[in-house]
Structure 1
Amino acid sequence: MPIPPPPGPQQPHGPYQSPQPQYPQGPHGSPAYPPGPGYQPWAQGYSPYNRPAPVNGLAVTSLVFGVLCCLPGVGLVFGLIALRQIRRRGERGSGLAVGGSVLSGIGLALWALMLATGGASSFWEGVKEGAREGANSSLVKGDCFDVPGGRLSGGDGVVTGVTCSGKHDGEVFASFRLRDGGYPGDDSVSGTADKRCYGLRDGYAMDAWAVPDDVDVYYFTPTEHSWSAGDREVTCVFGNAAEGADLTGSLRNDATVLDADQVAYLRAAHTLNAALESAPEADSVEDDLPGHKAWAGRISAALGEQARSLRGHEWPAGARKPVTVLAADLDRARTEWAKVAKAADADAFYRHYDTGLRLLDPKEGVPVRRALGLETTPPSGHGHARGGTGDGGSDGGGGMAV
């Protein structure tokens, strides 16, 4: 006669049903014949053994906080509470609670030591630096973003990407990597970023006339701390020159936005712009006459190259006549700047320079721009020539293209 299972909390209610009887064993331990329809197994989920005590949840939480060491004080408190609950409720997890309490206690001691020695401040700066590097490294050419407080200079560098169609604090127009090696110093990094970023802006905003006068160039650079972690990236961005003011709409106007005729015209103009911006560092012609004469020679050569580029392109019908007139004006300016380059002294330099500068009147390029659908209002700060040319100065005029 079968022996019934022991009574327990899981035993089925109602009339007792016998478990399967034992059958003769066949080969390999299998039953010699299947059970008949009159026998049924125990109900699913029945266990003849007592259920084990549950694990205390606070003990697990204490261990997690102890391992992560993020809030050691909380982990220690949870561990002590868990030990008391385990004793009172008969739950499991005392080992977890003890381990969490010990690890949390060690973490709490380390936090106290860091606060006493200033290590916590260094750690937090490192966290902020990491966030800064992660945010800036995600910026690519054409991205627009906001920064806390709208400050592109002197801020913490944390950025939030936004659409360029609305208001935003900055727009990325280029990026480049610095050479490997030891950290060159803040001044060297900033100097390189300044020179390279200003040189790269025309590749993104080819038509400088279309860039508002209140737009300036900013850049994100590696710090000494991020340099040690392998950061070499410089990110060049456009921003408003007025602190906290916004930009609206994208400033991008390159081959992805402009048509082939517009690009051809602006590329020819950039030949002259590059020469104008190569002025010597000395402000006075008297301080560096050879340097200023060499600069005038570069301008003369650029004017000739610009005229040849304009004549060599197949322009649409409406632009052919104004392009022909502009190329002739460039020839006259080239002749005068060649005389500047051969000046025997400062007086002769200034005499030919004044005439040559008048021949670089940006308004001469307006008819061509109008025919090509480009901006026709010269920016107030056209030219941006580095250095100067003595009393006459150089507003550069940006040639007759910008």
Structure 2
Amino acid sequence: MSIPPPPGPQQPQDPWQPPHQPHPQDPAYPQGPAYPQGPGSPQGPASPQGPGSPQGPAYPQGSPGPQNPYGAPPYQPWAQGYRPFNRPAPVNGVAVGALVLGLMCFFPGAGLVLGLIALRQIRRRQERGRGMAVAGAVLSGTGLALWVLAIAGGVPADVWAGFKDAARGDGSAYSLRTGECFDAPGGSLEGETYDVDEVPCAGEHDGEVFAAFTMKGYGSYPGDGKVTDVADARCYALRYGYAMDAWAVPDDVDVYYLTPTRQSWALGDRGVTCVFGNTDERGSLTGSLRNDGSRLNADQIAYLHAVNVENKVLDTQPVDTPDDDLDASREWAGRLSAALTEEAGLLRRHAWPAAAKQPVADAAEDVRAAQKEWARAARATDPDTFYEHYGRAMARSATDNSVAARKALGLDSTPPADAEGDRGGDGGGGGGELEV
């Protein structure tokens, strides 16, 4: 704000006092009819200059100004910086945003930057809000320092784990643990859900948790499609750690998963929960599907470990047919050939019980024969040739030798309903569970 000029012939000594009245003999005195001075006369004292008085037009120095019938001197212009009404300066909006982010602590870096920007704008624009800007910057700076320390110490995962633990007992989907069974709202395992009801696995239920993992290596949310792709691949592979005997999984059971949303990702959620559910939305499960190392003997585990090497690769069958993408099918067949080579070696090296030794050896021969056909399919130069060796390889799957070996080991001996190698509905008897 500039300072008013010093008093002079045209300026009052005090902006709140009447201006100096020139003597009638003074040449600058305006000419006009004279009137007596007094309370009742038309001419009164000139209005004092000050913030509360009206502003009149300015005239060149020495000019008599406009003539008025009362001969009063014209009003002087207000000095620069004075206004008729003294309105308060506006509040800086960036300062408000900095304070909000500082209090919420969700984005401490952003709150700190906004606080610094607000302080600069306030100084330049003569706005209000400096206290809010300072408070937001301080709170955000403190929050940022705590986040840095937390990341260095690996605390974010613990914080999110604590968040999920706090939700336990409240029917939250975050509270699910491996081996637990639950009912979902409306009985559907598709779409978005949060509230679930934990129920005993012995009775009817909508889902059974068989695995969980954390998505690592991603900063910002990778998108719904990427999250689904990761969940699909990992959950199908992880099911063999919980339900090792794929033949014991009913044909109407499929793999589902609970994944982070964009909103929960922003809060640190990276967890994916893998679930068994019925392929019929109106259907349900009864009893636990768990058959793992805690419920199987060493020989059963050795056999299932060998055949699941093949099953995990079968789960990765390309979506496109050989007619649409022959290269993808050939690459898959090559990986199957390598998996069956490993499977045959595991079956031959284990010391099986006497009753299972010959049945398992016969099953291993079937594996070796199927491996040769998959190797030929991997070298196919056209779709017809690929289909020819594909069919021969699948004919050696789920043979009588496999059934005999399973019976000798005390495992489920009923082949899955779908033994054609196509994952189809991805249920318990789909192609992903085929074995020899």
Shorter chain as denominator, the TM-score bin is 0.5 to 0.7
Residue in structure 2 matching 1:356, options 393, 400, 407: 393
The 2-side partners of 1:169 and 1:347 are apart by 42
Give the C-alpha shift of residue 264 in structure 1: 0.7
Give the C-alpha shift of residue 306 in structure 1: 1.1
Cα root mean square deviation, aligned: 2.6
Task: Report if the CA contact (8 A) 2:184-2:196 is conserved.
Answer: yes
Q: What TM-score, normalized by structure 2, do the two folds share?
A: 0.55
**Other-structure match for 1:183:** 221
Residue in structure 2 matching 1:138, options 175, 186, 195: 175
**Other-structure match for 1:343:** 380
Cα 1:358–1:222 shift into 2, 3 Å: same
Whether 1:269 and 2:329 are equivalent positions in the alignment is no
The 2-side partners of 1:173 and 1:146 are apart by 15
Give the C-alpha shift of residue 189 in structure 1: 2.3
> What whole-Å deviation, never above 9, does each CA across 1:65-108 have from its counterpart, x for those lacking one?
xxxxxxxxxxxxxxxxxxxxxxxxxxxxxxxxxxxxxxxxxxxx
Task: Report if the CA contact (8 A) 2:167-2:175 is conserved.
Answer: no
What is the one-letter code of the residue matched to 2:219?
G
**Other-structure match for 1:252:** 290
The 2-side partners of 1:346 and 1:381 are apart by 23
Q: What TM-score, normalized by structure 1, do the two folds share?
A: 0.60
**Other-structure match for 1:215:** 253
**Other-structure match for 1:162:** 199
Whether 1:400 and 2:423 are equivalent positions in the alignment is no
Task: Report if the CA contact (8 A) 2:423-2:432 is conserved.
Answer: no
Give the C-alpha shift of residue 286 in structure 1: 4.1
Give the C-alpha shift of residue 292 in structure 1: 2.5
Instruction: Show structure 1 runs of 4+ deviating over 4 A.
Output: 130-134, 382-387, 395-399
The 3-state SS of whatever aligns with 1:195 is helix
Task: Report if the CA contact (8 A) 1:362-1:398 is conserved.
Answer: no
The 2-side partners of 1:186 and 1:397 are apart by 24
User: What is the correspondence of 1:284-363 to structure 2 with a 5 Å cutoff?
Assistant: 285-363=322-400
The 2-side partners of 1:342 and 1:384 are apart by 19
> What whole-Å deviation, never above 9, does each CA across 1:247-289 have from its counterpart, x for those lacking one?
1111011111111111111110011122323333431x24433
Cα 1:307–1:222 shift into 2, 3 Å: same
The 3-state SS of whatever aligns with 2:172 is helix
Residue in structure 2 matching 1:226, options 264, 276, 291: 264
Alignment size in residue pairs: 264
Determine which structure has the larger helix proportion and give its number: 1
Cα 1:273–1:231 shift into 2, 3 Å: same
Task: Report if the CA contact (8 A) 2:207-2:277 is conserved.
Answer: yes
The 2-side partners of 1:298 and 1:316 are apart by 31
What is the one-letter code of the residue matched to 1:135?
S
Task: Report if the CA contact (8 A) 1:146-1:161 is conserved.
Answer: yes
Give the C-alpha shift of residue 183 in structure 1: 2.1
The 2-side partners of 1:277 and 1:218 are apart by 14
> What whole-Å deviation, never above 9, does each CA across 1:133-166 have from its counterpart, x for those lacking one?
9712221111112223322223633112222122
The 2-side partners of 1:351 and 1:225 are apart by 49
The 3-state SS of whatever aligns with 1:218 is strand
Task: Report if the CA contact (8 A) 1:276-1:398 is conserved.
Answer: yes
The 1-side partners of 2:226 and 2:242 are apart by 25
The 2-side partners of 1:286 and 1:169 are apart by 38
Give unpaired runs (5+ residues) of structure 1. Answer: 1-129, 388-394
The 1-side partners of 2:198 and 2:270 are apart by 21
Give the C-alpha shift of residue 356 in structure 1: 2.3
The 2-side partners of 1:259 and 1:170 are apart by 27
The 1-side partners of 2:290 and 2:193 are apart by 26
The 1-side partners of 2:376 and 2:233 are apart by 30
The 1-side partners of 2:288 and 2:230 are apart by 26
Task: Report if the CA contact (8 A) 2:309-2:343 is conserved.
Answer: yes
Cα 1:208–1:371 shift into 2, 3 Å: same
The 1-side partners of 2:220 and 2:247 are apart by 40
**378-387 or 342-351, which deviates more:** 378-387
The 3-state SS of whatever aligns with 1:297 is helix
> What whole-Å deviation, never above 9, does each CA across 1:7-41 have from its counterpart, x for those lacking one?
xxxxxxxxxxxxxxxxxxxxxxxxxxxxxxxxxxx
User: What is the correspondence of 1:26-175 to structure 2 with a 5 Å cutoff?
Assistant: 135-154=172-191, 156-175=193-212
Cα 1:289–1:149 shift into 2, 3 Å: closer
Cα 1:292–1:189 shift into 2, 3 Å: closer
Residue in structure 2 matching 1:376, options 395, 413, 422: 413
What is the one-letter code of the residue matched to 2:307?
A
**Other-structure match for 1:203:** 241
The 2-side partners of 1:206 and 1:372 are apart by 14
The 2-side partners of 1:397 and 1:151 are apart by 24
Identity %: 53
**Other-structure match for 2:87:** none
The 1-side partners of 2:182 and 2:205 are apart by 6
Which structure has the bigger radius of gyration? Answer: 2
What is the one-letter code of the residue matched to 2:397?
L
Task: Report if the CA contact (8 A) 1:148-1:159 is conserved.
Answer: yes
**Other-structure match for 2:318:** 280
Give unpaired runs (5+ residues) of structure 2. Answer: 1-165, 425-429
Give the C-alpha shift of residue 336 in structure 1: 2.6
The 2-side partners of 1:235 and 1:259 are apart by 27
Cα 1:321–1:364 shift into 2, 3 Å: closer
